[in-house]
Amino acid sequence: MEKLKKRWGITSNFQIVIIFIVFAITGTTSAKITGPVTEFVGLHPDALHPVLYWVVRILLIFPIYQVLLVFFGWIFGQFKFFWNFEKKMLNKMGIKIK
């Protein structure tokens, strides 16, 4: 835990528990939301090849996850950590955010 706290620049065990909770809630919520989003867009598993359907669904999960991560981070009082986390992740993908 100490290595993770040092790497992430956090000070308390409580903060790391909150961060893990936010990651868990965000992952679950983004996976649940993606189903209705694909339905709304008109993508149905029986209308597309199953591989294509799941590729599209996974590609939809990514931006939903990014938005929800910052949102739930804000709700749990960890906005600064998750905003910096997002900026780092997007910078690694070639998307520059100040």
Tens-digit pLDDT profile for residues 6-26: 888 888 889 999 999 999 999
The answer to whether position 87 is within a domain reads: yes
Residue 23 in domain: yes
Write out pLDDT tens, residues 23-68. Answer: 999 999 998 998 888 888 888 888 888 898 889 888 888 889 999 9
Q: Is residue 98 part of a domain?
A: no
Residues spanned by the domain of 10: 2-92
97 inside domain: no
pLDDT value of residue 10: 87
Calculate mean pLDDT across residues 87-96: 84
Three-state SS sequence of the chain? CHHHHHHHCCCCHHHHHHHHHHHHHHHHHHHHHHHHHHHHHCCCCCCCCHHHHHHHHHHHHHHHHHHHHHHHHHHCCCHHHHHHHHHHHHHHCCCCCC
Alpha-carbon distance values, 41 to 16, 44, 71 (Å): 37, 9, 23
- Does residue 63 belong to any structural domain of this protein? yes
**Residue 83 placed within a domain:** yes
- Structural domain includes residue 74: yes
What is the average pLDDT score of the chain? Answer: 89
Average pLDDT value for residue range 75-87: 92
The pLDDT, as a whole number, for residue 27 is 93
Q: Number of folded domains in the chain?
A: 1
> Would residue 62 count as lying in a domain?
yes
